[in-house]
Amino acid sequence: MTGTLRLVLGDQLARSMTSLTDLDRERDVVLMAEVMDEASYVPHHKQKIAFLFSAMRHFAQALEADGVRLRYVRLDDPANTQSLTGEVERALRDFGLSEICVTEPGEWRVREMLLGWRERLGLPVHVLDDDRFFCSRAEFAAWARGKRQYRMEFFYRNMRRKTGLLMDGTEPAGGQWNFDHDNRHPLPDRMFLPKRLRFEPDEITRDVLGLVRDRFGGNFGDLEPFGWAVTRESALLALDHFIDACLPAFGTYQDAMQTGEDFLYHGLVSPYLNAGLLTAREVCERAEEAFRAGRAPINAVEGFIRQILGWREYVRGIYWERMPGYRETNTLEATRPLPALYWTGETPMHCLSECVRTTRQHAYAHHIQRLMVLGNFALLAGLAPREVQDWYLLVYADAYEWVELPNVHGMVLHADGGLMASKPYAASGAYIDRMSDYCGTCRFSPKKRTGKDACPFNFLYWNFLIEHRGRFAGKNRMAMMFKNLDRLSEGEQKAIREEAKAFLDDLKPYG
């Protein structure tokens, strides 16, 4: 009997995947495999591995309950070849199947690998579109054609019109497209913060936690407490909790940071979206329903939907449009090795220490912590893009190369020369002081540019402008920055350069 081998990857945990829609239960076999090649191509955070393996095992259980013929290969199976190629070959041989069907993977390297199977195996390999996204690769390519810079705002408006989300006829709900101006408030003192819904590990998850402890004990990050949802049903409960308890205040305070408060009002749904447990459309529609019912204000709902309908779709489009060469560019010629503090959190800079702590404990940090603290430091310090990108890829539970690479390479590091962002996201300590309570317990002062108590973000910021004046001084959006730089005396600029050099030379690489 011949049939089709239907490969389901670890971030394709949706029954609606195109590789499963025309499944023949009598003839076809679904293959899912935990393999060391994928678990270790970067040393992923322990919770990231545990989340994906547990979610995969629960999804496989649901498929079997639905009568699907399934081969599920566990990491510790003695017969496991520890590669997707090896497991595909083994399944084809064992079941006598004549072709392979798979939904397009999210990472370039995996796509190249499976396209090579056609020649290697001498069988048809059907790579189907991933229709979980609002914008297809072809549609994004058509939008991007001929553009020197890709501006997310214009793409986002097109997606609003296409989907009808937050639209009143031909006009945007609330009378404007973007309410970002209303979403930049620091957290007030004694602000109520909801207790976030977390999930107690069941037997399957506990078994996975033991496996990860044994096989990946040396990887970055804390394994427990583990509270991520690992089934679609639990992911839907997490979405309900966010919509009801957090979305109303999400917009206003989405850029805020507070010591010891790791989740605030954020969605915490990106791991579920990116793994397939939730769909982008249902998440956006649930948020819009809350607005239409008067349960969440427009600034919160628009800001949340923009992150999914706008930003998430936009970075995926850039990834596929610009790979494989995109990750190799280094416009600012940054070469400094990633310092040990990104792994240990050991630094007197409280903001960095706090953001590394939450990353280590949860395989999570919210977008401002990632961009304006951890990322801003990497930009100002001139850290090598490849090392920074690999770090972001391995430490966060929602990180896959298609979403991580453009965010870090283009948005955080400006390594693409401004394809994504018209100016680098460089900021001094004043931004962090305004948006957080981090500076209140830090030994450094955000009000001092130089001196032993000066916040390193300050002299690194001014040093960055001095170093890159030739590249950025003519940019309209940076005119005020350089005008302020020119107000500094020659002596102060010299002190800034000297302090920045001494600080950067003192950064210790890991290992």
Overall average pLDDT of the 109-125 stretch: 95
- Residue 27: predicted pLDDT: 95
- The two tokens of residue 91 are 């399944």
Report residue 476's pLDDT band, with 50, 70 and 90 as the boundaries.
Answer: confident
* pLDDT greater than 70 at residue 259: yes
- The two tokens of residue 363 are 């395989």
- The two tokens of residue 331 are 């416009």
Residues in the chain: 511
Domain final residue pick, 99, 128, 157: 128
Considering only CA atoms, which of 98, 75, 69 is closest in space to residue 87?
75
- Residue 1: predicted pLDDT: 55
Q: How far apart are CA 354 and CA 252, in angstroms?
A: 22
- The verdict on 430 and 302 lying in the same domain is no
The mean pLDDT of the chain is 96
Residue 412 domain-assigned?
Answer: yes
- The verdict on 451 and 348 lying in the same domain is yes
Give CA torsion, residues 171, 175, 181, 182, to 10 deg.
-120
- The verdict on 119 and 149 lying in the same domain is no
- The verdict on 191 and 231 lying in the same domain is yes
Domain final residue pick, 292, 322, 352: 322
Residue 209 domain-assigned?
Answer: no
* pLDDT greater than 80 at residue 6: yes
Overall average pLDDT of the 450-471 stretch: 96
User: Can you give the C-alpha Rg of the chain in angstroms?
Assistant: 24
* pLDDT digit string, tens, across residues 347-389: 999 999 999 999 999 999 999 999 999 999 999 999 999 999 9
Assessment of whether the complete model's pTM goes beyond 0.85: yes
- The verdict on 370 and 484 lying in the same domain is yes
Considering only CA atoms, which of 404, 394, 391 is closest in space to residue 326?
404
Overall average pLDDT of the 310-323 stretch: 97
Q: How far apart are CA 239 and CA 405, in angstroms?
A: 26
Characterise 418 by phi-psi region: left (phi > 0), alpha (psi -120 to 50), beta (else): left
Q: How far apart are CA 199 and CA 192, in angstroms?
A: 22
Residue 148 domain-assigned?
Answer: yes
- The two tokens of residue 321 are 């449009």
| Tally of domains in the chain | 3
> Cis omega before residue 248 (within 30°)?
no
- The verdict on 363 and 231 lying in the same domain is no
- The verdict on 144 and 65 lying in the same domain is no
Considering only CA atoms, which of 338, 401, 406 is closest in space to residue 38?
401
- The two tokens of residue 150 are 């890709």
- The verdict on 154 and 97 lying in the same domain is no
Residue 396 near residue 316, CB atoms below 8 Å: no
Report residue 218's pLDDT band, with 50, 70 and 90 as the boundaries.
Answer: very high
- The verdict on 41 and 23 lying in the same domain is yes
- Residue 367, domain CATH: 1.10.579.10
Determine the Cα angle at 460 with ends 456 and 466, to 5°.
Answer: 155
Q: Quick one: 348 exposed, middle or buried, by C-beta within 10 A (0-12, 13-18, 19+)?
A: exposed
Residue 65 domain-assigned?
Answer: yes
* pLDDT digit string, tens, across residues 260-275: 999 999 999 999 999 9
Domain final residue pick, 263, 290, 322: 322
- The verdict on 294 and 440 lying in the same domain is no
- Residue 156, domain CATH: 1.25.40.80
Determine the Cα angle at 358 with ends 443 and 402, to 5°.
Answer: 120
Q: How far apart are CA 42 and CA 337, in angstroms?
A: 17
Overall average pLDDT of the 295-304 stretch: 98
Report residue 148's pLDDT band, with 50, 70 and 90 as the boundaries.
Answer: confident
Residue 205 domain-assigned?
Answer: no
Report residue 190's pLDDT band, with 50, 70 and 90 as the boundaries.
Answer: confident
Considering only CA atoms, which of 186, 212, 193 is closest in space to residue 201?
212
Residue 329 domain-assigned?
Answer: no
Q: How far apart are CA 493 and CA 488, in angstroms?
A: 6
* pLDDT digit string, tens, across residues 41-92: 999 999 999 999 999 999 999 999 999 999 999 999 999 999 999 999 999 9
Q: How far apart are CA 277 and CA 100, in angstroms?
A: 24
Residue type, 159: M
Residue 328 domain-assigned?
Answer: no
- The verdict on 100 and 163 lying in the same domain is no
- The two tokens of residue 365 are 């940090």
CA dihedral for 127, 133, 134, 140, sign (positive or negative)? negative
* pLDDT greater than 90 at residue 511: no
Q: How far apart are CA 168 and CA 174, in angstroms?
A: 9
Task: Tell me the residue range of the domain where 146 lies.
Answer: 137-199+217-322
- The two tokens of residue 58 are 């629960």
Q: How far apart are CA 445 and CA 456, in angstroms?
A: 9
Residue 263 domain-assigned?
Answer: yes
Overall average pLDDT of the 119-126 stretch: 94
- The verdict on 158 and 258 lying in the same domain is yes
Report residue 149's pLDDT band, with 50, 70 and 90 as the boundaries.
Answer: confident
